[in-house]
A and B are shown apart, each in its own frame.
Chain A
Amino acid sequence: MSATAVSPLITVEGVHKHFGSHHVLKDVTTHFNAGEVAAILGASGSGKSTLLRMLNRLETHDAGRIVVDGIEVNDDARALEKLRAEVGMVFQQFNLFPHLTVLDNVALAPRRVRGLNRDQAAERARELLERVGLAAHIDKHPFQLSGGQQQRVAIARSLAMQPKVMLFDEPTSALDPEMVKEVLDVMKQLARSGMTMLVVTHEMGFAREVADRVLFIDQGRIAADAPPEQFFGNQDNERVSAFLGRILH
């Protein structure tokens, strides 16, 4: 990318994070451009989820700087709400609102944050739920859906805010194997539509097929950052090879 291009959508500069005495992230510096799909891999406890969660301040960073879409990520509550409205997040455990219907789960934030009226929000929610293949379930409550369906509702819920970037925190890790595909299919479709996506995952197939870029986090540092062909191809990094060996059997 040329130097005259627009500044990156997300900039992470010299970021550190401690949990007590545990140094989770060590001097992490990277950036993500609009339209990019990045897969973030690493062993559990490597700090990959923490890195993702710092981008919308579900975790604080102890040192360094994070800028998302021109907004400095810090404790300024107003700026934070604005930032979060632009950053969608999908969780491992779905975190749907159990007391609301599927439609209301998706329509709530556009009404409250974007100021849409009830009909506009419902209309947008219906379109998105149709897109993720759940048009028939809009009046159900989350507990009536399978894990895969719930996660697709969660994706639609984030998309309803029309975010500039979507963060996925192990979106298929809590799913039964037969439901992983339906969620990954929705994510692939989203990637093709040009959405900027950061995906913490253990789905190597998805990383290889869909990602523009694979980041490997090891012991709190970015140990590798390469296009998937290179990452999964001739790998000269020992730790990456060891990790891939464990994952791919």
Chain B
Amino acid sequence: MPSHLEPKRLKKGIELAPTPTWTAVSPIKSKRRFRLPRRGSVAVAVLVVLFLAGFHLRDAWSAERMSDPDGCLVCHAVQGLAFRDDNGMLRNASIDSQHYFSSLHGNVPCRDCHREIREYPHQEDNGAVDCAASCHLEEPSQGVAYSHKEVAEEFVDSVHGKGAVDGLTAANRWDENRNDHPPSCRRCHSNSLYIPEEKRAQFQDAFDHEEAVCGNCHQGDVWQGQMAGHILRRLLGARWSPQEEVAMCNECHRDVESMAKVERQAMPDGGAKPSDAHFVHASESFDMTLHGRLVAGDNAFGVSCNDCHSPQGFRHGILPTEDPGSTVHPENLEKMCGASGCHGYVANGLNKKFLMTDMHDLDWVPGQFANASMLELMQDSNWTRSLFLIIPAAGLFLVMSIVWTIFMRHDRGSLPVLGGRRFETLFLSRKQRPKKNQSTTDGVVYKRLRILSNRRKWLSSLNGRTRWSRRKGDPS
């Protein structure tokens, strides 16, 4: 606004401070159409490009991540590398490399497990695997060499401890191909996918959570790439559902013929003892319990074998029931069954009998017991146990019945003196029996009454002053 047109602020003719002048708030456009970009923005653009390229390169590098430094997959990834050995067993050396790299051992180099293999043709024993050996991987939380040693130790001390932990080769799978062979590590475990297909959605959900919630504090690639993956895997992937656990145990324990051959560990001397029907049919009797039925019904509250037999540690330490360290030892049942989320009420002294429930009760099993003798089954039955109470009680009853029949038989019938006759007449509408019969059948009481009345008569005849004799008109 031109200054000469600027209005004066006058108050009573005195000029006051000028009003503020208007100024433009938007920049005036330059007439030049093209301007060189500033150095700063060029630098930013370069950085952005490098940053994006970095992402791309990182993806490219990670895609090339290979854990085959020994070059084993040069041959073993080829399809059709196989022969049939002297037993007729197909020996397939072709490994699905895609599956391997996505598996639990996907970043373990082959020779971390197959240590002695250095040349071809391989000696069969050189490929032997020891599951308890430590490998070159670092366990992320502590940075020490990773190993299954602790699990293996727990396993070796358990009832399954005769199964092999080391010396596992492709060739001796043949020897293990029988159900009467003690279970080795590989009997239950194989190199499964790191993220199982059926748990992918669950992992996806958890990873979202990991970025949004855990990521508030735990930031950076190390956490998100290593720790979160590792921890989620431990939390989600490594947990078997009750259904999976029971199915795994049933692989062997369902086979009653093989179970009948098992030599079990006797306590406390640790010697061998033959398997009994209780053990042989354990899988079938479990199915009949509520625990088993929930598992069969695909219910998340189902209770697996390990939930009772090895709930702690690495869940491999199943001990004989008679072992004081066993979670199913009678002394430990209160603690085990009363664990949080299960049957906490057993802590109450009034509920102690709950712990006596037999979770493998043969009486519940409707199956055929081809392998168990009748005597064995009877010994194991609660019906048999209850006979120890029932037989003496029944015997006592029998003896007392005989005694009563012989010595007290004449006492039977209702007692008129106590109102029994009146009860029969009024309430049961029975006709009164003739007195003659009564006198004979009613027994001692009537006899006594008769004696009493006779005595009265006799007394009255003595003094002649009874009311009765007066009323009747005694001749005397």
> Are A and B interaction partners?
no
